[in-house]
Structure 1
Amino acid sequence: MPVNTWPLMWSGVISEVNRVKSKPLSPSQRRSVEYIQQVFDKESVSNLSLGYSYAEQMNPIRGFGDTRRDEVQGYLAGEVMGERWAGKLQVNNIGDPLDGEHTHYDGSYLTGLLGNWAFTVGAIDRWWGPGWESGLILSNSARPVPGISLQRNSSEPFEWDWLRWIGPWQFTAFAGKLESDRVIPDAKLLGARFSFRPLRWLELGLSRTAQWGGGDRPQDFSSFKDLLLGKDNRGSSGISEENEPGNQLGGLDFRVSINTAIPIGFYGEFIGEDEAGGVPSRYIYTAGIDTVIPVGDSSLRIIFESSDTAANRMSGTARFNYAYEHGIYKSGYRYRNRPLGAGVDNDSRAQHLALNWLLDSRQDVRIRLSQFDLNTDQAGSQVYTNGNAVAVGESHDYAAILNYTYRAPSWRASLGYEHYSGDLRLRGVDAGDDVVSVSMEYAW
């Protein structure tokens, strides 16, 4: 099944787990299967949960596996699972929120199945693409945008012979509304993604998002049609500033998995901030390599990943203040002052070396060393001025993160350490300080 679209549907995941259970597995592979089964057993039943996390500072740049966003957060949640529907109400209280909203309902949802489609309303995190540390078009850096969505429940291949070559495939689409405190208030965020595995070792994905409407911008059917057809460049197809339909991003990603004695994966994501000849252009990119090494009965995943969010820099001529920016939607591709795409926001480079060590089905250790070149055009002393929302001016240096997690049947606890070099100028963070974080969750 395609796995580079989050959230994943449990029906496909557990089918894969059941398929490999009867096959010969190494001790480390068996641990991984047991871990997934343990998480499924916990999350597939109705439950109440209570959680609390504390850190001395907010988490400024999040990766895929990061769960902490704010300094202090407590939550109470109730989740009900039915045969064809599921729902969750989560109430979060934030101690010192970046956006000033102390109480919100992120993580809440209501989902119903109709045929092979899941229809959802709520506010849930999304991550599109194969990157472990950067999701260029959608990531968990910003809070989830409330809205509606649909997604295939099972990623089984087409039954028609002439389309079976596509292999297992997934499609998801959503529509949400951004906050009112923007240059264009209440703009809509739309997105769609198609991913498929034509070969067992190859996964491909096509993604597209758009900011549309809001404020006094056109948002009728004609404007929506122009948006879908990509007619949004001024000076062509009768498009002017008055009727320009929106701000779009689009691109492709891939992952190649080589299953040898020590498996290796290569992956990349390329997102265009403009359109030329009907396809995205002026790309930003993420590229990486990972492998899983057995260590006794445990498994160690090693990841090296590199990203560049300056438009067209990979072609030799960087366009600064271009990626994640727009002449009309001047608040940029952001939600509540955080980037919707890459955690470093625009005009930045990041290199990561990460070690994810699954000790057993209950314990894991995560280590990440990062080198950042943030906001390399030196712009963005404040948000909403065509500049980076994460960094203040230009800065270059490293960060180190260490996290240990223990999972019991009814509770989970984590202890973390973070250090951002004093030369990194990050919004809301006293760089140079050592940060300790603790979190605890209990479910019954």
Structure 2
Amino acid sequence: MSKLKVGVVNLGCDKNRIDSEIIIGNLKEKYEIVNEPEEADVILINTCGFIETSKQESIDTILEMAKYKENNKCKVLVATGCLTQRYGQELLELIPELDIILGVNDYDKLNEAIEKALEKGEKSCYTNYSDSNINIGKRTVTTGGITAYIRISEGCNYQCAYCAIPKIRGKYRSRTIEDIVAEAKELAINGYKELILVAQDTTNYGIDIYGGQKLHMLLQELSKIKSIKWIRVLYCYAEELTEEIINEFASNEKVCNYVDIPVQHISDDILKAMKRRGRKKIILENIKKLREAIPNVVLRTSIIVGFPGETEENFQELLDFVKEVNFDKLGVFKYSQEEGTAAAEMENQIEEEVKEERYHRLMTLQQKISAEVNKKKVGRIYEVLIEEKENGEYIGRSYEMSPEIDGEIFIKCDKIINMGEFINVNIVDALEYDLVGKIVDNMDK
């Protein structure tokens, strides 16, 4: 008898991706995993519920996948992730096509819930809150055979006024260095060459189990794995960057000179209203330290515009900050009024058209900065990780580019290049976000 088929649709951040990979790893022994939803007997949507746009995308995707139940091929529809952790039973009632709701701490109940749905038609809803659980386990990595994400901690201790993550994911809790290194070694054995470390806040890794920030020690241990070439660190709090962390970034040859510091804003008035720990002075000081310690560092940030009470003066201060720092990469989000957060109750909400206008002003500025930054790369030689080939062109990334969120390098080449190979590329042209290159020298690694 053939196995039932399961299709998994992942939405949201890299941490969600890891959860989906664990889910697939747990399911694949019993079920056949398929990529096309029309082939699936069971469809699972791993949702995001961080801001309004991501919630809407999650609901739209659930409704889209529900259509596959109409032809009787799909027998069970499952929703999990941050949206379901927030709205659990309410979602089950609002979308009758759903059979199973799982929160972010209940993936171990999935097999049993599927059996109940298939055999008895029973619906299930599990949305347990946890301050101790960290989702780990046998994963099926979905990013190809080159790059893999590793979650180094779960949850968050901060109570930023706009953010519901602590209520969804619980308090900050780190994995041990030994556990993370063991997972990284397994990935290396399977051919992975780039590790991307993720958490709600990577800079505070270890504070709960080691009594202090130990990201630098974790990086030292991971860099001992011979076949790992790049280690990339995302989601660093600018105000939490210690001398030890900065020095490790600067001295460790395997750590990409790429620092992701989502500052969200720079006006002290807004940062205070957001309940962010950092202030303008320390953020600017640490950016200066990063650039002094690592002259070729690439800085990425994310910004929120339209937070309650943001005046035109506050926004102008933000524009001036972006001009001054000249971020290599920058993402902009319009503030989303999320129920259950402190900011949602603030009286001085910003009109949607004002948020939209400020979003476009900031993105227009960053487009100009990005184009100028990229022009300066023409004539430089980068070591590039080749990831795919499309329309006769090879596509890859340098250390300056994180997958899926930054640009790519397009290379025309008649030679055969293996996926996962590192090659030297001379940049011959610059686009707004992407680059065009020509092979200089093949570097088999």
Q: Would you say same fold, with TM above 0.5?
A: no
Q: Structure 2 length as normaliser, TM-score? A: 0.31
Q: Which has the higher strand share?
A: 1
Query: Using CA pairs below 8 Å that are at least 6 residues apart, which structure has the higher relative contact order?
Result: 1
TM-score, normalised via structure 1 length: 0.31
Q: Counting helix residues as a fraction of each chain, which structure ranks higher?
A: 2
Bigger Cα Rg: 2
